[in-house]
Amino acid sequence: MQSEHIFDTTPQAQRAKPLSILYISYPLLAISEASAGGAEQMLLTLEQEMATRGHRTTVAACAGSKISGRLLATGDAAGSPDAFETREREHSERILAYLHQHPNEFDLIHDESGSFFRHADQCPAPVLATLHLPRSFYREEWFCDSPANLLFNCVSQSQARTLSDLPNVISVIQNGIDVDRFTLGREKHNYLLWMGRICEEKAPHRAIAAARKAGMLLVIAGQVYPFSYHRQYFEREIRPMLGHKVAFLESPPIDQKIELLRRSRALLLTSTADETSSLVAMEAMACGTPVIAVRRGAFPEIIVDGETGFVVDDIEEVAVAASRVHEIDPATCRRRAEKEFSAKRMAREYEKLYQYVLDANRGRVAA
């Protein structure tokens, strides 16, 4: 995928010099390979790749996070529902205090948290914020009067189009996964799979409706975050449906997650939000499993309709598509994942983007 913005993702002839990079994580929960959130998974994958490529990586995250480089612990994970604002404030304050004490330690700050970029004007290094959410999920005032050291990156063209009026959105870099970790599975079992963070906008209840129309077992695998409205949604819409050809696996370990993806007839994406990406769709394709997605956001950029799955317009069509998944070749799904969604491709593009950000910042300071 080529960016429509000013940054060019074509490969560099030479690898950039090693950098000291501070990654900012989502503040609410400790991050590890078991994290359900796409932004957290993407951060872990990118940070691991950058460490492997010789960069010095530090991640600001909750205590107990499992990362490749150094952990800058910003406090304990939230112990109760709806503690986001308190935890986010503590997270940001600890990061800023560290930066003020060590102003020359980092060449660049890469914000993956969704909110820390608001403090870019207090940071001694340039800040690159990758936006993982639809624009409507952010407060509009956060994009006003951005400081000169703040630049934004998007994860899909559909997301970038909604932010085209912002002058400091400079690039589109598609997310990536560790493709080698997900092995091709040709022998499929008779169930459909829904996997991810369980909340109303991700809409696993719609996947239940589609699986029932298709007359198939649905496995829901994921995590309920500690927000009261997420938990209320689960208790109201999901729990009463369990046991009626609907199985629930809470926060499965990575090996079980991969096996679920390898053996599923198809992965269902039933979100009601304009999703900006889908790591689980990339993982399913790496396992040779087709993806059936309702046409929202970036889903049509990830899934090739009729080749790696089906992009449909409503839940009734999801059920129809489930009867056609035998038409999809698992090897074709795997090839697309290898070509388009590898972590190595993502890391190369970010490495080049980091250098662009540093060059732009040096030009700004010199001016």
The torsion angles phi and psi of 175, rounded to 5 degrees, stand at -60, 165
Same fold, 20-176+342-366 and 179-340: yes
pLDDT-derived band at 332, boundaries 50, 70, 90? very high
pLDDT-derived band at 3, boundaries 50, 70, 90? very low
What angle in degrees, to the nearest 10, is found between the helix axes of 38-52 and 343-366?
Answer: 80
- Whether the model pTM is above 0.75: yes
pLDDT for residue 11: 58
* Token reading at 237: 């819409």
Q: Which fold has domain 20-176+342-366?
A: Rossmann fold (3.40.50)
In this structure, the number of other CB atoms found within 10 A of the CB of residue 348 comes to 21
pLDDT-derived band at 21, boundaries 50, 70, 90? very high
Q: What is the mean pLDDT of residues 151-169?
A: 97
Distances, alpha carbon 218 to alpha carbons 62, 191, 215, 244, 267, in Å: 33, 6, 9, 9, 10
According to the CATH classification, is domain 179-340 in 3.40.50.2000?
yes
Flag whether pLDDT at 8 surpasses 80.
Answer: no
Domain extents for the chain?
20-176+342-366, 179-340
Flag whether pLDDT at 1 surpasses 50.
Answer: no
